[in-house]
């Protein structure tokens, strides 16, 4: 009897040790995902080379004249357009992973969101109800037909869809340009909170200098196809 008790005790201790170790490893992995974006000598089309870093939990702006290439930069960063140079999220380099894996790590909200199914919910995997509510929607929006959506509704729901994938880096192309003041302020809050809670780097394109002053501590001014200047709001 003593032998069975001792064996059971040893098994229990080993099991507990394994569970504790697994929890610690899982926590460490979660903490180590910092979402730092490092760009080295990026060239795309006739632009660049550009080098910069956006740290985890940091929201950095990008502005410049219309047509200078801000959107093209985002498309290069998410690997939609041909580019040269290196792009890292933490220690993962863009060229070392497949495009689908990279675009799950790096999420982009375009100025005009694209919708390919008939209903809103068909585009989303477990959307966050709290984000839907903060942006003025109920759960029944998932049954809405896309064709009935206004431009502003598409923009807000595009953000909800983007966050479903839990990206480690956010690239936002004028995410509040089609929104009223109230919804624009709520989007700013949601993005800032997401960045802080998930240790996410954010690059936010806008022409609104007042918005840059509200939400960033620094931003980039793309003066020309070859010039990128860092400024403080």
Report whether pLDDT(140) > 60: yes
129-138 pLDDT per residue, tens: 999 999 999 9
pLDDT of residue 35: 84
Alpha helices per DSSP H over the chain: 2-32, 70-77, 99-105, 129-134, 151-164, 181-198, 209-215
Q: Which of 203, 199, 168 is nearest to 52 (CA)?
A: 203
Please check whether residue 128 is in contact with residue 198, taking contact to mean a CB–CB distance below 8 angstroms.
Answer: no
C-alpha span between 109 and 8 (Å, rounded): 55
Give the per-residue pLDDT at 33. Answer: 57
Q: Write out pLDDT tens, residues 40-95.
A: 999 999 999 999 999 999 999 999 999 999 999 999 999 999 999 999 999 999 99
pLDDT above 90: residue 6: no
pLDDT digits (tens, 9 = 90+) for 148-203: 999 999 999 999 999 999 999 999 999 999 999 999 999 999 999 999 999 999 99
Model confidence at 215: pLDDT above 90: yes
pTM assigned to the model: 0.84
What pLDDT, in 10s, does the model give residues 16-30? 433 333 333 333 233
pLDDT attached to residue 21: 31
Between 233 and 232, residue with greater pLDDT: 232
**Rounded to 5°, angle at Cα 126 from 120 and 128:** 90
Measured between alpha carbons, how far is residue 157 from residues 33, 75, 132, 211 in Å?
26, 20, 8, 21
């Amino acid at each position: 009897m003593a032998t069975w008790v001792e064996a059971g005790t040893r098994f229990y201790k080993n099991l507990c040790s394994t569970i504790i170790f697994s929890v610690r490893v899982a926590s460490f992995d979660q903490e180590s995902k910092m979402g730092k974006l490092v760009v080295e000598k990026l060239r795309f089309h006739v632009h660049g080379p550009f080098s910069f870093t956006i740290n985890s939990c940091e929201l950095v702006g990008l502005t410049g004249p219309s047509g200078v290439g801000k959107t093209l930069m985002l498309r290069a960063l998410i690997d939609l357009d041909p580019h040269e140079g290196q792009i890292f999220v933490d220690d993962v380099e863009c060229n070392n992973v497949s495009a689908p894996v990279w675009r799950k790590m790096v999420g982009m909200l375009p100025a005009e969101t694209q919708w390919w199914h008939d209903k809103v919910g068909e585009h989303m995997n477990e959307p966050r109800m709290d984000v839907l509510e903060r942006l003025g929607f109920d759960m029944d929006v998932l049954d809405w037909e896309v064709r009935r959506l206004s431009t502003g509704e598409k923009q807000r729901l595009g953000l909800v869809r983007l966050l479903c994938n839990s990206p480690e880096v956010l690239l936002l192309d004028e995410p509040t340009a089609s929104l009223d003041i109230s919804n624009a302020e709520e989007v700013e809050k949601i993005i800032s909170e997401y960045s802080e809670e998930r240790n996410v780097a954010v690059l936010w394109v806008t022409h609104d200098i007042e918005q840059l002053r509200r939400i960033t501590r620094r931003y980039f001014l793309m003066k020309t196809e070859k010039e990128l200047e860092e400024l403080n709001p």
